[in-house]
Amino acid sequence: MQTVVCFGDSITRGQVSASYVEVLADRPNLQHYRFINRGVNSDLTINLLRRMKRVAALQPDVITILIGTNDIISTIRPFSALFFALIKGMTHRPGIPESTANLTRLVAYLKEHTRADLALASIPPLGEEMRSAPMALVRVYNAAVRRICATYQVAYLPVFERMAAYLHANGRRPARVYHGSAFMTIEFALRWLFTAEDFHNFSARKGFTLLTDAVHLNRVGARLVAEEIEKYLLAREQGVLRQDSVRWVPVTAGEKQGYNE
């Protein structure tokens, strides 16, 4: 049995977000994997640097990394930046260049100190309005994630792209713009505790398609993340991965024959 560590923030932790790690663990095709959840609520890229030695010590076969949402939030929400400073030891608002530098250091360390195959995911949308200012920052960050994958020859998981396509086909109109999420997150937590309202109902009531509070995932959003990871794992174990620009994709039948010649 191979071990997969899912490394990230609250989207990975799956307490105030529907858990894509639980979806993975329940997949019939993935029962020969052991999934370890190493998501921590409110983590930023700098926090993963502080935890990377503990993840390396697990000696996993695969590490998936989904991180950066809180870095983006801290750049556009002064209150959130203060919150992260108080509970996460953030000394200043990082900005996208510093956040991507942190991610680069993380990838370099894990490649040097583990034998794990790494897969970096683009971060999900902030809100569901694709033309909003917060979404523009998400796109800039995700472009940096793609460049890191290309530089270090690691897999790129197109989570954002998958969700953007889903929203284009199925999203509600008008789509909700991200204007902060703290109060909705607290509201969901209280409703879940005292009324047992689930992710799906809360998300629908708030007018979202994939998210619950403009940041965290409902069950459909979690399923999309899990499907991208599952596709990567199955292609990896079959030895049919190639790097196409900056993204790993299954090899075609003709290409596979060429590899075997």
Q: Which among 121, 72, 134, 69 is positioned nearest to 225, based on CA atoms?
A: 121
Whole-angstrom Cα distance, residue 38 to residue 24?
14
- For the segment 24-46, what is each residue's pLDDT rounded down to a tens digit? 999 999 999 999 999 999 999 99
* Biggest alpha carbon–alpha carbon distance for the chain: 62
SS3 166: helix
Of the listed ranges 138-142, 183-187, 225-229, the least confidently predicted one is: 183-187
Return all residues near 195 (Cβ < 8 A) that are at least 6 apart: none
Locate 53 and state its tokens. 């030695």
Locate 5 and state its tokens. 């560590």
> Which CATH homologous superfamily contains domain 2-260?
SGNH hydrolase (3.40.50.1110)
Position 63: which residue type? I
Position 76: which residue type? I
Position 45: which residue type? T
- For the segment 80-127, what is each residue's pLDDT rounded down to a tens digit? 666 677 677 777 777 899 999 999 999 999 999 999 999 999 999 999
Query: Domain extents for the chain?
Result: 2-260
Q: φ, ψ for residue 89 (rounded to 5)?
A: 70, 25
SS3 214: coil
Q: φ, ψ for residue 126 (rounded to 5)?
A: -100, 110
Coarse DSSP helix, strand, coil percentages of the chain, rounded to the nearest 5 percent:
55, 15, 30
Predicted TM-score (pTM) of the model is 0.88
Bridge partners (DSSP) of residue 65 are 7, 120
In this model, does residue 200 exceed pLDDT 80?
yes
